[in-house]
Structure 1
């Protein structure tokens, strides 16, 4: 008799996930804000733009010197920062520098939302990029429904992020925008991430607790 594999999957420890994600969060979210604001306060807009571009390309050079691969997404991000900095310097408005990523966040929200009726939840794609999962596990109906619901959740989180960011950008000072917006976005992201991880653990308990097809036939 052919044995049908059980679609089980074990999630890595939360501490391991945090060790993987936290340095990237600090490098990609917290540090750029601190660098831009410090340079903005000391050197003005042009100095802040130079500092922001230097930070991004410095990270790329540091990876290259250490022999680490430079992801294509990081190179695209560097290109995006460069274009934003040039436009902001040309217009003399820091609003231009932050408007593009805010609109980009709105587009990400739309992408998460659109992936649900298409049956190809974006949350699943992002999760499997970070933690490879077996196909049998991903085909399980409970797992599929989980990723559809989480994609809806992240769509709403990115939408709230974009709306709040746009309001702050157009109505508050750059300093207030940077720190209040960053804090609120971090809280929203942390809350959604906690819901996602806890929900996934609950989903895992149900899926791993089911008997395999081979067991059910004995």
Structure 2
């Protein structure tokens, strides 16, 4: 199997690093939307959200700073949603599009398992280098199949809760709770995945160590290196 040792950052370090991007790409856009929704209505709020997304991108470009992937996805998503909503004149279309995307992602995770090419493995290889011997280990392969199913279930639960909030509650309630539920659910599954990963690797005799001190920052930088826009 070789001398493979996985070094992973502390969850607290990853959360601290991700917080500014989550605020910029998720929380602040929500506050902008809600403010303009109560002031000028839903279509005015859509335009305000669009302007916020592109002003945040422009600020990063002007300062020559790294553009977070979450911010890019947010800008692309709100652009597509606004265009379709304006073209159809349907507010429901604007809010249901992310839920449809979540269901498709869940389907992709689930379909990848019986095909023998679990999607979780492909994503993990973007972050952790793995030699062929490690990938051939039965504990490793079982882990990626199981975790792909877990992420599929997580996305389906997310989509179900989101759709229920959208159809049975007020728009303000939907927006607030959706913004809270999605990160909370994702964070819980990430934590479960890390724990599951360490247990599975221990069963397979593959050492896993958590980066200490300054090394956590270096690991985070390596993880982000392949994700820069």
TM-score, normalised to structure 1, is: 0.81
Name 2:221's counterpart in structure 1.
Answer: none
> Could you tell me how far apart the structure 2 residues matched to 1:22 and 1:200 are?
23
Q: Pick the structure with greater CA Rg.
A: 1
Can you list the C-alpha shifts for 1:1-34, whole angstroms capped at 9, x where unaligned? xxx7223322223333223333333333323222
Q: State the Cα distance separating 1:175 from its structure 2 match.
A: 0.4
**Aligned partner of residue 117 in structure 2, secondary structure:** coil
- Find 1:169's aligned residue among 163, 166, 170: 166
Can you list the C-alpha shifts for 1:69-104, whole angstroms capped at 9, x where unaligned? 557886565343223113324555432211111111
Q: Is the 8 A contact 1:36 1:51 kept in 2?
A: yes
Task: Decide whether aligned partners of structure 1 residues 111 and 8 sit closer, same or farther in structure 2, where only a CA change above 3 A counts.
Answer: same
TM-score, normalised to structure 2, is: 0.78
> Could you tell me how far apart the structure 1 residues matched to 2:136 and 2:9 are?
20
Q: State the Cα distance separating 1:48 from its structure 2 match.
A: 0.8
Can you list the C-alpha shifts for 1:23-75, whole angstroms capped at 9, x where unaligned? 33333332322221122122211221112111221222122122235578865
Name 1:48's counterpart in structure 2.
Answer: 45
> Could you tell me how far apart the structure 1 residues matched to 2:70 and 2:24 are?
14
Task: Decide whether aligned partners of structure 1 residues 17 and 88 sit closer, same or farther in structure 2, where only a CA change above 3 A counts.
Answer: same
- Structure 2 gaps of 5+ residues are 209-229
- Structure 1 gaps of 5+ residues are 211-218
Structure 2 residue 29 is matched with structure 1 residue 68: no
Structure 2 residue 130 is matched with structure 1 residue 134: yes
**After TM superposition, which residue ranges in structure 1, 4 or more long, deviate above 6 angstroms?**
none
Name 1:158's counterpart in structure 2.
Answer: 155
Task: Decide whether aligned partners of structure 1 residues 14 and 180 sit closer, same or farther in structure 2, where only a CA change above 3 A counts.
Answer: closer
Name 2:182's counterpart in structure 1.
Answer: 185
- Find 1:112's aligned residue among 94, 109, 112: 109
> Could you tell me how far apart the structure 2 residues matched to 1:107 and 1:59 are?
28
> Could you tell me how far apart the structure 2 residues matched to 1:152 and 1:173 are?
32
> Could you tell me how far apart the structure 2 residues matched to 1:73 and 1:183 are?
16
Name 2:206's counterpart in structure 1.
Answer: 208
> Could you tell me how far apart the structure 2 residues matched to 1:11 and 1:178 are?
33
Please, which moves more after superposition, 149-158 or 181-190?
181-190
Structure 2 residue 24 is matched with structure 1 residue 27: yes
**Aligned partner of residue 10 in structure 1, secondary structure:** strand
Q: What count of residue pairs does the alignment treat as equivalent? A: 206
Name 2:13's counterpart in structure 1.
Answer: 16
> Could you tell me how far apart the structure 2 residues matched to 1:139 and 1:82 are?
42
